[in-house]
Amino acid sequence: MLLDRLSKISFSLRRTRFLRLADYIDKCVSLLTNADIVKNDKVMQLLNLLEKNVDELEKCVNTSRDERKCLEIAKVIYCNCFRYYLYATNKIRDLIRTRRMLYLGISLGLPLMPLFGATYIVVAILFLALLWNYMNVVRFKKLGLLSLYIVATAILPFTVAGINYGVYALTSLEELHRISEALNVDPTTALMIALTIFIVSLVSTTTIIYSLAKLYTYRDAFS
């Protein structure tokens, strides 16, 4: 059984003073202990992959004894254990929901950027980076996670500026009059425009911040 093998490996690693490796394996044991026994294609695929990873680690420890190389294998094992835990406990749905929320927040924030000083080329670069790394996010690659964080944090200052401007415009008759004249619309429409900017900025900001914080708790699933 995989759990028993990992427990024995952890004990052996601590005896041989490979403490950093043992810490990763202990984390793995904890995740597998708390995971439900579920049988589906994805879970079985991850279990088979973990078996191979454990074989590699045992071979590395018993033959090469290269701690750096063995540590990399232990990190891969922990990452796959974390993914197994997500699928076995069905928390993968929460991760997918969080990812979608982040994309929603980014999608709402991107159109706001040119209104508050960003050039269209910057917006285009961020949009292309988002599309380019989408599959990396889906495949649990750290590059994809990093790209999401970069794009989201680049948008945040502009959505915050949108909130500040929305509050100012909604409480200033002069600003509403200026909007009305600049866009050649009636005061009611100008008020709706200011209100829209405020609501979209607020939703985008709160969604991005919440999703980034939530996604950080799942960072160990990305390799």
Residues 123 and 208 in one domain: yes
The reply to whether 140 and 39 lie within a common domain is no
Place of tokens 């982040």: 102
Tell me how many degrees the CA angle 5-6-12 measures, rounded to the nearest 5. 90
Is there a single domain that holds both residue 98 and residue 43?
no
Is pLDDT at 42 greater than 80 in this prediction?
no
For residue 75, the model assigns a pLDDT of 86
In terms of Cα–Cα distance, which of 159, 76, 74, 78 is closest to 118? 159
pLDDT of 208 higher than 90: yes
Kindly indicate the confidence band of residue 36, based on its pLDDT and cuts at 50, 70 and 90.
low
Q: Which of 90, 109, 144 is the last residue of a domain?
A: 90
H-helix or E-strand containing 125?
helix 120-132
pLDDT digits (tens, 9 = 90+) for 119-169: 889 999 988 888 888 888 888 888 888 888 999 999 999 999 999 999 998
Q: Is residue 45 located within the same domain as residue 31?
A: yes
The arithmetic mean of pLDDT across residues 84-90, rounded, is 84
Is residue 39 over pLDDT 70?
Answer: no
Q: Which of 150, 158, 140 is nearest to 99 (CA)?
A: 140
**Domain containing residue 136:** 93-221
Percent of the chain's residues with pLDDT above 90: 23
212 and 108 within one domain: yes
Q: Are residues 70 and 114 in the same domain?
A: no
Both tokens of residue 103?
A: 């994309």
154 and 174 inside one domain: yes
pLDDT of residue 62: 77
What's the domain count of the chain? 2
pLDDT for the residue numbered 38: 64
Of 70-74, 113-117, 195-199, highest mean pLDDT: 195-199
**Same domain, residue pair 163 and 107:** yes
Q: Which residue, of 90, 114, 144, is where some domain finishes?
A: 90
101 shares its domain with 67 = no
24 with 72, same domain: the answer is yes
Among 90, 121, 152, identify where a domain stops.
90
Is the domain of 83 the same as that of 116? no
| Domain co-membership, 125 together with 215 | yes
Task: Tell me which range, 16-25, 54-63, 78-87, is most confidently predicted by mean pLDDT.
Answer: 78-87
